[in-house]
Amino acid sequence: MPELPEVETVCRGLKKAVLNRQIDSIQLRRSDLRIPFPTGLKDIRRVKITDIDRRAKYILMHLGDKQTMIVHLGMSGSLTIMKNVSLQKHDHMILTLDDKTKIVFNDPRRFGLVDLTKTKNIDQHRFFRHLGPEPLEKEFTAAYLAEKLKGKKAPVKLAIMDQRLVVGVGNIYASEALFEAGIDPRRESRNLQPPEIRKLTTAIRDVLKRAIKAGGSSLRDYVQANGELGYFQHQWAVYGRESQSCKGCARKETILKVQQGGRATFFCPACQK
């Protein structure tokens, strides 16, 4: 489900609500999601949550026992803070805190995952070692992107969704960023010109920042940690707008939908060249 803005929103919400609280116990209601729940997870007792942050689309809960709990929401996962819980279908993991509030991980499709690792080894973890730079950090520059796109035949939309190149950009924000940069998503990466790469770098950063400001995009399952909806979906220029007219061009061109790498891509054939 969630791309970088949604994961960032959940992280911020969690941090605000549960930083420095203690996890009293963890309840698991099945043995696995995409991967088995790690050994030791259910045995965590009276451990403090010392920090919460994000790497790519992973939520990192750093614990007082020098371990970090890694949570990925997959396509349909949510982490919600609740006072009074009546457990629902697909509530798979429940953290009970020292003030009796609970953090509930619900994930209907079970593409999400939870893992546990020593905090100091986190960069070497198999989920992290291949990841590219964070798009909102200063390492993500036009020069970097140009270097990575050089010689690549893959369509530029697939390239910017490759987490080895840059993290956090998923199917929605890839279409949105390419619209904002005025670039046709089907273009071969190696054919982008330097000014276009500069525009794309800026567009990726800007669209992600604006989405974070709006609390992410809510469709189907996504909610913030406090249960509220994000509202960036109302600002989509192209995603999900097939056969509607483009908001960006005077000609009111019709938004097209094509398949790339088995997934839907939306774009305006007049604004994006």
Partner DNA sequence: AGACGTACCTGACCGC
Partner DNA sequence: TGCGGTCAGGTACGTC
Q: Least CB distance from residue 259 to DNA, whole Å?
A: 8
Q: Decide if 57 is catalytic.
A: yes
Binds DNA (CB under 7 A): choice among 15, 57, 102, 199: 57
Question: Residues 38, 115: contact at Cβ < 8 Å?
Answer: yes
Distance between CA 164 and CA 269 in Å, rounded?
28
Q: Least CB distance from residue 135 to DNA, whole Å?
A: 13
Stretch that binds DNA, among 12-20, 79-87, 108-116, 201-209 (CB under 7 A): 108-116
Asked whether position 83 contacts DNA by CB under 7 A, the answer is no
Q: Least CB distance from residue 117 to DNA, whole Å?
A: 13
Distance between CA 65 and CA 89 in Å, rounded?
31
Asked whether position 135 contacts DNA by CB under 7 A, the answer is no
Binds DNA (CB under 7 A): choice among 142, 221, 226, 256: 221
Q: Least CB distance from residue 220 to DNA, whole Å?
A: 3
Quote the radius of gyration of the chain (alpha carbons, Å): 20
Asked whether position 38 contacts DNA by CB under 7 A, the answer is no
Kindly determine how many residues on this chain lie close enough to bind DNA according to the rule CB under 7 A: 40
Binds DNA (CB under 7 A): choice among 68, 80, 201, 218: 218
Asked whether position 153 contacts DNA by CB under 7 A, the answer is yes
Binds DNA (CB under 7 A): choice among 56, 59, 63, 103: 56
Cβ burial of 209 (10 Å; 0-12, 13-18, 19+) is: middle
Stretch that binds DNA, among 95-103, 137-145, 150-158, 177-185 (CB under 7 A): 150-158
Question: Residues 197, 142: contact at Cβ < 8 Å?
Answer: yes
Q: Least CB distance from residue 194 to DNA, whole Å?
A: 20
Question: Residues 178, 272: contact at Cβ < 8 Å?
Answer: yes
Determine how many CB atoms are found less than 10 A away from the CB of residue 169: 26
Binds DNA (CB under 7 A): choice among 182, 264, 269, 270: 264
Distance between CA 124 and CA 187 in Å, rounded?
34
Enclosing H/E stretch for 171 = helix 171-181
Distance between CA 73 and CA 1 in Å, rounded?
7
- Its sign, for the CA torsion 216, 220, 225, 227, is positive
Tokens in use for 263? 């997934």
Q: Decide if 153 is catalytic.
A: no
Please identify which residue in the block is written with the tokens 């020593």.
Answer: 118
Instruction: Give whole-number Cα distances, 186 to 154, 195, 265, 269, in Å.
Output: 9, 18, 9, 11
Q: Least CB distance from residue 35 to DNA, whole Å?
A: 8
Positions that interact with DNA (CB under 7 A): 1-3, 6, 34, 56-57, 72, 74-76, 89-90, 108-111, 126-127, 130, 152-154, 158, 161, 163, 170-172, 216-222, 261-264
Catalogue the active-site residues.
2-3, 57, 263
